[in-house]
Amino acid sequence: MTDGNGARPGALMAIGGAEDKFEEKFILKNFFDLCGGKDARIAIIPTASKLEGTGTAYQAIFNSFGVQSVEVLPLFRRADANDPAAARVFEQATGIFMTGGDQNKILAVLGGTESLHAIQAANDRGAVIGGTSAGASALSDPMISLGKPGSMARSGMVKLTAGLGLTKTFIVDQHFHQRERLGRLMYSIMLYPGMIGVGVDEDTAAILNPGGGCIDVVGRGTVTIVDGSELKMYNPASVPHLAPMVFSNMVLHTLTHGCRYSLIDRELEMDRRSAGPDDYC
């Protein structure tokens, strides 16, 4: 993990939506800490949301943690996202947070703009980029823009479109078990078998560490990793629309708070916090 001040890229924090905003605020506190804690300068992107107060609600929460600065950037049209004033805020940020709503809106407004270039540059120099729900989906490229529920992978059940491209290693999905999205994530990985699926439950976050070496999990739910590197399957394009997909060797991992998934070993590392080594088989 980065403290946001190092030379290496910052972490990505993919939050599964519906994170606690009223009690312990564990996930948001974790984001604040990753961004530098009291030294953090956070920029909030409320683009995905239809609700007027979404950005300011997060602003109030980060202020309550004692953040050095937090600004809501009202990027609702492409012209807003090409305004140099926005890029200057991202240049100063140690953390950038994208709210939930509709990930397609994020791409429609930010795709190819000066703001997106500034966000990418900020991440490259160490700023942490977090997103919840739609904001989590938008992190990857491609991103899941919409799909059907269910644990069965069906042909064409998901639409994948251009994402922000802050990672090209992972495809992120959110509200994962709550909305039964395993099928659509497995199908996405059949289309992009070189990528790794990351399904994040509500009030839970997957911290995608820079360099792609590992994923850490925090929060109350689970993070499911879908690894298709050993897949055997039919050419997905040959399967009729919504017919079940035939496949072999889809590898699943499910992690809870404190777990780390290693991309080197392609498996769960010891839970370093909540259980002793004798319990690991």
240 binding its own copies? (CB under 8 A): no
Task: Select the span of 46-54, 135-143, 208-216, 231-239 touching its own copies (CB under 8 A).
Answer: 231-239
Taking the least distance from each CB to its own copies, the nearer of 84 and 240 is: 240
The dihedral over CA atoms of 108, 47, 110, 186, expressed in degrees to the nearest 10, equals -70
Closest contact distance (angstroms) between CB of 160 and its own copies is: 18
Taking the least distance from each CB to its own copies, the nearer of 93 and 186 is: 186
Taking the least distance from each CB to its own copies, the nearer of 86 and 226 is: 226
Mapping DSSP onto H, E and C, the string for 40-89 reads CEEEEECCCCCCCCHHHHHHHHHHHCCCCEEEECCCCCHHHHCCHHHHHH
Using CB under 8 A, count the residues that bind its own copies: 40
Q: Tell me how far apart the alpha carbons of residues 82 and 270 are, in angstroms, rounded to a whole number.
A: 45
- The tokens for 33 are 């800490």
Q: What is the DSSP letter of 57?
A: H
Task: Select the span of 7-15, 39-47, 110-118, 176-184 touching its own copies (CB under 8 A).
Answer: 176-184
* Of 137, 145, 188, 202, catalytic: 202
Per-residue interface string for the shown chain with its own copies, residues 202-221, x marking contact by CB under 8 A: -------------------x
Q: From its phi and psi, is residue 50 left (phi > 0), alpha (psi between -120 and 50) or beta?
A: alpha
Which SS3 state, helix, strand or coil, does residue 228 take? coil
Is 177 designated active site?
Answer: no
281 binding its own copies? (CB under 8 A): yes
Is 202 designated active site?
Answer: yes
Q: Tell me how far apart the alpha carbons of residues 231 and 22 are, in angstroms, rounded to a whole number.
A: 42
Task: Select the span of 13-21, 54-62, 81-89, 260-268 touching its own copies (CB under 8 A).
Answer: 260-268
Q: Which of 52, 248, 264, 273 binds its own copies (CB under 8 A)?
A: 248
Q: Helix 114-124 vs helix 84-92: angle between axes, to the nearest 10 degrees? A: 10
Taking the least distance from each CB to its own copies, the nearer of 78 and 220 is: 220
* Of 49, 137, 140, 175, catalytic: 175
Closest contact distance (angstroms) between CB of 147 and its own copies is: 14
Q: Which phi and psi angles does 86 have, rounded to 5°? A: -65, -45
Which SS3 state, helix, strand or coil, does residue 235 take? coil
Q: Tell me how far apart the alpha carbons of residues 276 and 36 are, in angstroms, rounded to a whole number.
A: 30
- The tokens for 37 are 């804690």
Taking the least distance from each CB to its own copies, the nearer of 85 and 238 is: 238
Helix (H) or strand (E) holding 123: helix 114-124
Closest contact distance (angstroms) between CB of 275 and its own copies is: 6
188 binding its own copies? (CB under 8 A): no
- The tokens for 181 are 């999205």
Is 253 designated active site?
Answer: no
Give how far Cα 19 sits from Cα of 29, 41, 202, Å: 11, 21, 6
Catalytic residues: 133, 175, 202
Binding site for its own copies (CB under 8 A): 150-153, 177, 180, 182, 186, 221-222, 231-235, 238, 243-256, 259, 261, 267-268, 271, 275, 278-281
